[in-house]
Structure 1
Amino acid sequence: MDTKSLMIETATILFQQKGYKSVGLNELLKACSITKGALYHHFPNGKEELLIACLHALNETITTDIEAIFSGHQSTKEATQAMIDKLIHNLETDGTITGYTFSSIVSEMATVSEPVRKACSALYENIQHIYCTKLVTDGFSNESASAIALLMTASIEGAMLLCLTQKSIEPLKTTGQLLPNLMKMY
């Protein structure tokens, strides 16, 4: 793995686990086994530019994973349950769902940095687009699909945060049980 990719991968994990502001530059350099010069060589604008690169990498990884799950299932209901089951499995196996959630970064940085806000917004929009497309395929109108996709995104993201704060899989389990029923209402 090249230095830039290693920096993005390592920083993503640190930012998700500790938050952007809690990760000091020295900690980042040590975790990546790089010098300050190497950081600024790859990211001339420093730590915030690295964060944006991390968010772009997360966007690609999460979007690819969700697309694979949703294309591998016939209905939105089945795909959503499979995705939630995967999140629950990750939480039970790893004790975290770090690769999927980036809400801590959003809450910490979105009001401080417009480029970070835009990177986070793009990821949420991609997730909603995947959900919306599958819902339209299931026969929902564009308007209903868009509304349900927003509800799904908010529910699943919120459930992941609750799982992490409660150290429990119950919020995701409950969301997985209730979301299909809410889809029927439209």
Structure 2
Amino acid sequence: MEIIKTAIDGVVIIKPRIFTDSRGYFFESFSQREFDEKVRPIQFVQDNESKSSYGVMRGLHYQKMPYTQSKLVRCVRGRVLDVAVDIRRGSPTFGRHVAAELSEDNHLQLFIPRGFAHGFAVLSDEAVFQYKCDNFYEPQSEGGIQLIDDTLGIDWRIPTDHAILSEKDIKRTKLADTPLDFDYNEDLYKK
């Protein structure tokens, strides 16, 4: 796997080595050993999958301490714009984001460390999205910030009149109004 650094330290794009021939293609989508060596030592404990249609926007979600999660995400059918927003207070990149197009054609994955909010928008007619988490989902720990927060400067590439959001995501507060318990100087991986 090739690791592509982004503008925010710790958020990386993973490009797999793909082998193609007349039968199709093959690639290793995850290797614990290689991930630990090239990205960071981590133990994923839960895999999730969602199916959505064009215009669906999910996020920007995170889990509060002590249940915060890292995610390794990919799109196995269709195309999405995937976004990670730094929500660590005191971080030099607080409020900044990384956006990457993930698709069934490019096979790219995005690693989102703890201390980031995550969301995506479906750009194709339909998309199947998969992600690994390094902590179990805890409903009482669920948090989120508003997807359409102009201060974040995210171009979701979906016209407003085509955006489909859950009621919960519509009611989220903007980053400036969201109480956050992530501190840039704290080790968010310490158990």
TM-score (norm. length: structure 2): 0.28
Higher helix proportion: 1
